[in-house]
Amino acid sequence: MSSLQFTPSELEQIDHDRFYHPCPQIQKRMEVLRLAAHGLPQAEIAQLTGLSKATIQRRLADFRRGRLDAVGAWNYRGRPSILRQHAPTLEQHFRSHPPATVADARAVIEEKTGVRRGLTQVRLFLKKVAASAIARPAAYPRRRTWSPRSSSTTTSCNPC
């Protein structure tokens, strides 16, 4: 294993980013680099961080290839939702015809788009995209908030 050479400014950046970077995954990567800078073997770094040895090797290879810029790059894109392209149409429909249940919303989504999703996926879609469009049905009014009784009707507990 070849040892890694870190400049003082890189060590300072690693120390900062392992606690203050907004992405927790990048914080973990910086922790790996910090432990490697202290000369720990990869097996011990894996044990201390809870990551696999292959992940440790990948992060160290990233550093060798592109220094901190390569380690700090977060390229996760995820899979885009097929329903996103239909969001404006569905939101407009749900504004004029609010569904009573998630199952009703699922049926409308399938009818209008041809995309069939489970109830959980429809619920998530409604929360993300059409939450403002769907009003609470009148059959389910908002609950009253708790308010303490007036002081004249409450009794105090006196142990004596």
pLDDT of 76: 65
Per-run averaged pLDDT (10 residues), the chain, 160 residues: 78 88 86 90 92 91 84 72 84 85 91 90 81 55 62 49
Domain boundaries, the chain: 8-71, 82-128
pLDDT of 125: 85
Residue 73 near residue 102 (C-beta atoms within 8 A): no
pLDDT of 52: 92
Q: Which two tokens stand for residue 52?
A: 């696999």
Residue 129 near residue 88 (C-beta atoms within 8 A): no
pLDDT of 110: 92
